[in-house]
Chains A and B, each alone.
Chain A
Amino acid sequence: MNLNDLLQRLQLVLLYSLLLVCALTGTAIANAATSPTIGGMLPEEALSAGERMYREGILPSGKPMLAFVQGDIPVKGSMFSCESCHLRSGLGSAEGTRIVFPVNAAKLYIPLRHGADIPITPTRDNLSAAFKPGEIRPAYSDESLAQAIWSGQSPTGEMLDETMPRYMLDEAEMAIMVYYLKHLSATFSPGVTDSEIHLATVITEGVPEAKREAVLKTLTAYLKVKNSQNRPQTKRAKRGPWYRQQRFTSYRHLILSVWELTGPAETWQQQLEDFYAADPVFALIGGLSSGKWEPIHNFCEANRLPNIFPLTEQPVVNDQDWYTLYFSKGPFQEGEAAAKFLRGTGIKSTAEKVVQLYQDNPASKRLAAGFSETWKNLGQPEPINLLINADVPLDKAYLQTLTDRYPGASYLVWLDASNFGFINQLAAAEQTGKLIASVPLLGEQVYRLAESARSKAYFTHPERLSENRKLRETVVKKWLQVHKVPIIDMDIQSKVYFIGWMLSGGLKMLSNEYYQDYFLDSLDMMNDEYFSITNYPRVSFGQGQRYAVKGCYIVQLDQSIPPKLVPKSNWVIQ
């Protein structure tokens, strides 16, 4: 960044700032907020431009916002933006000893108080000053908000912490910024009343009845526990100490709807829109699909509706979307792990061929895509991709053709259990290098791998190893028994148990700030989870991280009787 440019811009901004202070009537900003245009833009355009400034740090001109932080560190909006610290909802964050205050409309334009910002009865006049609710700052006006963003001066006249950047915006840009903040988390999201939070879970047609029951019975039991008021929250809200009232008044009864989607996936969006219009919900919890999840993902993205932990083998994999929090990238993540593992073993030259066999089904194609994309990012040449259609006979002749054509090659074999005989033969063949297949695709068949093939055959294993999940599974089973839920499918039920755990944590973090964006912001700030999750060694969170499970083991069968799967990689392979 050119320092002279910065200084010139700073002078300009100071001039604007001075003009604004002199014109105490505040006409510039106030007029901007009430006139038909805001910073020269129509209201809708200003909201969109303000959102880009807030989230991406990019000015309407397309240039990055410029600021100084800690007094003299020049920063560009492309380094970090308002959202980085105040989060998408504007409700702020806590990092180490740093507390970032809310900048959403509902909070900025009322006085900031310590303790509850709800009326306190009785008023506690007889308490000493330390125990009384008190005002930290008065409400912001448009003018004082602009002043704080420009110079760091709060409405009390004191200076904000230097960690809050001082932004160099011209008058029009500031009007847009203020206009956006005036609309950011201004009113509670849909699905929340004074006494209830409405949630839904989406189940698609074609899901086996047992799996459907496993999801719904476990989720319903969890909500029943949450609604049982085993800690009498409503009573506490009335009688509790004033500084806890805000937290206790956040208690709401949880209501769960089941949105069943039927017919072709192309019709799901309309069905979802109809459900949402008839029954506005705060968030989608879990969910289960036998096929695509993309239409539901896209609906959530378009409506800014959170969906946490849908159970799907077809999650949408991209790093831009925000509203669906998945367990993992599914089969794609297994492919990624295979590529990183293979690269780490020293397979890198073009002379050593890598052959990928896959089938025309979503899981196999996603495994292949995950491998190919990662392999390419690792600087490796495109593997030889062979689509195994039903008309390709996986017999000895085909095996001979492969080994003749690609001697010494390593194989990614994304074939299902019906082709295990061929995988066994390929792994055992003398001319084969390493071979990697998928445990979820092969299931129990992997234990039938011939001893002669065990040294060369590896498998992707995207879950906690079985010997390490027994204790946690026992905890979930006990919980199910106590709450009279039949044990139907432990894989699903332990995931739903975890979803309930996260729902509790997320709602607790929300306190009584019922904004959909803040629900996801809150989950992003959760601690790593080790003990509440049975299926995976660890799940972790972070701002905008949308795949909580980060790893996938690469395992081999050992020589013990019966053979066991033993990890040959870390859970997360770099």
Chain B
Amino acid sequence: MRISTSNGLIFCAIFVSLLLTGCAGHDMHAMHKQMLQTPTATTGSIRMFHTPDVTLINQERMPVKLTEVLSDERPVLLQFVYATCTTICPVLSAGFSSLQEKLSEEAVETRFISITIDPEHDNPEILKRYLAKYDAQPGWDFLTGSKKDIDQVMRAFDSYVSNKMSHKPLTFIKVPGESKWLRLNGLMGTQELYNEFRRIHPK
């Protein structure tokens, strides 16, 4: 078979990428090792997100207009989770539970919103049981909706993943009067999340 110059370049590229793939196998294990040793650092950024005009439903089957609930006069914290998630969502939700308790002790009225990324499984009854497990108090809603609407919301918040198992541990915080969100990527302890909250919403 005659190989043209361009084909040759392609073969070279494939060869190099195959080599890299081999290295990736090694890198993957190095990552595992590193994860055993060091906690993943949280990264944060201030971002503008345009909330899509969709109506979701909460754990009580009440319709919730997302633009309204996210422009609440109270500070808003938002997370994307799902009920049968392993690892990330249980820790995110436990963090919400703990922070809600801490802020309620300080009498800070705050709106907690969890949005499912598995809307076809997570119906309102499942959401209600999930919130009860995490001792959610009034002010914390868990929303579901059509897959199309949920995908739209995830895209709007730069959180879209085609496979729910690939999602990131994201928390979004917005304070009254601000249009921008603090976007946090990482699993955090209560105090760390509280500090981030207080950074944009001081006492």
Residues of chain A whose beta carbon lies under 8 Å from any beta carbon of chain B: 1, 69-75, 78-80, 84-85, 87, 93-101, 114-115, 130-131, 136-137, 154, 158-163, 241, 243-244, 377-378, 524-525, 527-528, 538, 540, 542-545, 550-551, 570-572, 574
Chain A residues with CB under 8 Å of B120's CB are 538, 540, 550-551, 571-572
Contact partner of A74 (CB less than 8 A), chosen from B98, B133, B164, is: B98
A69-B94, A79-B94 known; A542 vs B87 contact (CB < 8 Å): no
Contact partner of A543 (CB less than 8 A), chosen from B57, B86, B146, B147, is: B86
Residue of A nearest to B147 (CB): A572
A-B contact pairs, 24 of them (CB 8 A): A72-B98, A73-B95, A74-B94, A75-B94, A79-B94, A84-B86, A95-B85, A95-B88, A96-B166, A98-B169, A99-B35, A114-B32, A114-B33, A158-B36, A162-B39, A243-B29, A525-B165, A528-B163, A538-B120, A542-B118, A543-B84, A544-B84, A572-B120, A574-B61
Chain B residues with CB under 8 Å of A80's CB are 90, 94
Majority-rule SS of A interface residues = loop
CB distance from B96 to the nearest CB of A (A): 10
Question: 7 shortest A-B CB distances, which residue pairs?
Answer: A114-B29, A542-B84, A80-B90, A70-B189, A71-B189, A550-B120, A95-B87
The reply to whether A79 and B97 form a contact with Cβ atoms under 8 Å apart is: yes
Interface stretch (choices B44-52, B69-77, B121-129): B121-129
| In the complex, per-residue mask of B145-163: 1 if CB is within 8 Å of any chain A CB, else 0 | 1111000000000000011
Expressed in whole angstroms, the Cα–Cα distance for A244 and B166 within the complex equals 23
Interface membership of B40, Cβ < 8 A: yes
Expressed in whole angstroms, the Cα–Cα distance for A448 and B169 within the complex equals 53
A96-B167, A574-B119 known; A73 vs B91 contact (CB < 8 Å): yes
Expressed in whole angstroms, the Cα–Cα distance for A41 and B172 within the complex equals 47
Chain A residues with CB under 8 Å of B124's CB are 574
Expressed in whole angstroms, the Cα–Cα distance for A244 and B22 within the complex equals 10
Residue of B nearest to A549 (CB): B120
Interface residue count on the B side (C-beta < 8 Å): 59
Expressed in whole angstroms, the Cα–Cα distance for A79 and B85 within the complex equals 12
CB distance from B31 to the nearest CB of A (A): 8
CB distance from A74 to the nearest CB of B (A): 6
The reply to whether A574 and B190 form a contact with Cβ atoms under 8 Å apart is: no
Chain A residues with CB under 8 Å of B180's CB are none
A243-B26, A377-B125 known; A574 vs B33 contact (CB < 8 Å): no
Interface membership of B17, Cβ < 8 A: no
Expressed in whole angstroms, the Cα–Cα distance for A1 and B94 within the complex equals 12
The reply to whether A158 and B190 form a contact with Cβ atoms under 8 Å apart is: no
Residue of B nearest to A243 (CB): B25
CB distance from A195 to the nearest CB of B (A): 26
Expressed in whole angstroms, the Cα–Cα distance for A138 and B197 within the complex equals 40
Given contacts A73-B91, A85-B86, 9 further A-B contacts (CB under 8 A): A70-B188, A94-B165, A97-B168, A99-B31, A540-B118, A542-B84, A543-B86, A550-B121, A574-B146
The reply to whether B91 and A69 form a contact with Cβ atoms under 8 Å apart is: yes
The reply to whether B30 and A114 form a contact with Cβ atoms under 8 Å apart is: yes
A161-B35, A538-B120 known; A95 vs B165 contact (CB < 8 Å): yes
Interface centre among B37, B88, B165 (most CB of A within 10 A): B165
CB distance from B84 to the nearest CB of A (A): 4
Contact partner of A131 (CB less than 8 A), chosen from B26, B36, B82, is: B26
Chain A residues with CB under 8 Å of B87's CB are 84-85, 93, 95-96, 98, 100, 163
| In the complex, per-residue mask of B9-49: 1 if CB is within 8 Å of any chain A CB, else 0 | 00000000000001001100111110111111000000000
The reply to whether B86 and A93 form a contact with Cβ atoms under 8 Å apart is: yes
CB distance from A118 to the nearest CB of B (A): 15
The reply to whether A79 and B165 form a contact with Cβ atoms under 8 Å apart is: no
Contact partner of A70 (CB less than 8 A), chosen from B26, B91, B133, is: B91
Residue of A nearest to B83 (CB): A542
The reply to whether A95 and B86 form a contact with Cβ atoms under 8 Å apart is: yes
The reply to whether B133 and A78 form a contact with Cβ atoms under 8 Å apart is: yes
Chain A residues with CB under 8 Å of B114's CB are none
Expressed in whole angstroms, the Cα–Cα distance for A97 and B1 within the complex equals 43
Contact partner of B36 (CB less than 8 A), chosen from A79, A137, A377, A527, is: A137
